[in-house]
Structure 1
């Protein structure tokens, strides 16, 4: 199998909503299509809603002063982002660009907040998802301070491989891996070579095959 997979283990807030509320929000939302590299949102934009990815992938991060984009997350179909800006009512703090062609839905802020008031159980689920996101973020930040780069890369690839049994294939570039790890491309390449030498991954153009995801996950924890 081969797919662009998300780089996070945290639950997406949209998935925590009641299924009836999800269906209502999708029916009343607006779908948009973006080309590869096209900007979906920018820092400073008003929080007029949040995004649900229907197809394709989105890189979330920030543009640096020199114009380079530094990704902090790679999200795929079924993921959502931008909810926190809606809750805070403050301008967005991250940029997002399409990775390949993508289809996304903008869930407008006011209809979402109004509808949420009728689903108290969803409100509780959202609080739980937010708490889990915060805990995982703190865990990730702590992990960035420890471990070798190959081990950190193994952990990232293991997450992106998902829970499916058998071999997995992750579509991602070296630069994207470097951005997600917070290292240079050369450092990411060295870590990839190390994992390849150990037989934990097989490298291809813009794609990494993982023969045994469980073995890769164990290496990340060693």
Structure 2
């Protein structure tokens, strides 16, 4: 059973220039009042099914019912509006998070003051800059809601206690962190070696896999991304990204429908991302 926090601090992102900007004291977030369902007289209602958000994650779905209950009792549920920061670069990494609803982007500020979007997270994704959370070090980046979003969070100590009692889970966590490290290495390699068009093509292919749905017109992304969002994710300037998008649209590989991106020719983008000339 998740609990709503009535004393969680929050940061408003709408008027903040950088994810690494630290502000002063902030007002407390109030939890949303729960809605009580009315039961008609004489009607029998089935008992509610236990809500176990951690069971939706492959890493934790093998835990026993008792362990799931222990996690769920310590889980806090928080709503965030579009643009709100869930945590900022440099904040202590004391919590693990799950996206319950909505979309979150992880962003890192460079020494030059530029912000690079490292990844986009969807419902069911676990995040917290996991290596930092396990080590107890500060967040190397920030997390920001891209739309109205609900986050589940649990303190690192609670989760580490569960891991200590589950050697198999500890091994899976190590493998998970290894996969994440490889993703970061591949991204760094792409930023260093790939041409701008290849980076944008690779980004679109990845988004199609993670946040795309098939439609008669092509693969439609389920999240709204501006060209600035995509430029940040590809590590490019807005001007360069706009030129590439114009070429992709002219080739009829992509288009926009109601502010959502539609991919019409995924094989062509995949070929370009793989350093091949599309047929």
TM-score range, shorter chain: 0.7 to 0.9
Residue of structure 1 equivalent to 2:219: 168
Task: Decide which structure has greater helix share.
Answer: 1
The question of whether the paired residues in 1 share the 8 Å contact of 2:252 and 2:265 is answered with no
Which whole-Å CA distance do the structure 1 matches of 2:116 and 2:272 have between them? 27
Report the TM-score, using the length of structure 1 for normalisation. Answer: 0.84
Going from structure 1 to structure 2, the CA distance change for 1:126 and 1:43 (only over 3 Å counts) comes to same
Whether 2:60 is the aligned partner of 1:18: answer: yes
Per-residue CA shift, 1:75-129, capped at 9, x if unaligned?
A: 1111121122221111222111111110001121111000111221111111111
Residue of structure 1 equivalent to 2:146: 99
Distance apart, 1:74 and its partner CA: 1.6
Residue of structure 2 equivalent to 1:46: 92
Match among 247, 251, 256 for residue 194 of structure 1: 247
Match among 185, 198, 206 for residue 238 of structure 2: 185
The question of whether the paired residues in 2 share the 8 Å contact of 1:59 and 1:71 is answered with yes
Where do 5+ consecutive residues of structure 2 fail to align?
1-55
Residue of structure 1 equivalent to 2:126: 80
Going from structure 1 to structure 2, the CA distance change for 1:99 and 1:165 (only over 3 Å counts) comes to closer
Which whole-Å CA distance do the structure 2 matches of 1:174 and 1:151 have between them? 16
Going from structure 1 to structure 2, the CA distance change for 1:34 and 1:201 (only over 3 Å counts) comes to same
**More relative contact order in 1 or in 2 (CA 8 Å, sep 6+)?**
1
Which whole-Å CA distance do the structure 1 matches of 2:169 and 2:265 have between them? 37
Whether 2:78 is the aligned partner of 1:32: answer: yes
The question of whether the paired residues in 2 share the 8 Å contact of 1:16 and 1:129 is answered with no
Whether 2:269 is the aligned partner of 1:213: answer: no
Distance apart, 1:139 and its partner CA: 1.9
Larger Rg computed on CA atoms: 2
Distance apart, 1:148 and its partner CA: 2.6
Where do 5+ consecutive residues of structure 1 fail to align?
1-13
Partner SS state of residue 92, structure 1: coil
Residue of structure 1 equivalent to 2:177: 130
Partner SS state of residue 54, structure 1: strand
Tell me whether 37-46 or 59-68 shows the greater mean CA deviation. 59-68
Which whole-Å CA distance do the structure 2 matches of 1:121 and 1:89 have between them? 22
Which whole-Å CA distance do the structure 2 matches of 1:214 and 1:26 have between them? 42
Partner SS state of residue 19, structure 1: coil
The question of whether the paired residues in 1 share the 8 Å contact of 2:82 and 2:146 is answered with yes
Going from structure 1 to structure 2, the CA distance change for 1:29 and 1:20 (only over 3 Å counts) comes to farther
The question of whether the paired residues in 2 share the 8 Å contact of 1:16 and 1:126 is answered with no
Report the TM-score, using the length of structure 2 for normalisation. Answer: 0.68
Whether 2:104 is the aligned partner of 1:58: answer: yes
Tell me whether 59-68 or 199-208 shows the greater mean CA deviation. 59-68
Going from structure 1 to structure 2, the CA distance change for 1:67 and 1:137 (only over 3 Å counts) comes to closer
The question of whether the paired residues in 1 share the 8 Å contact of 2:110 and 2:116 is answered with yes
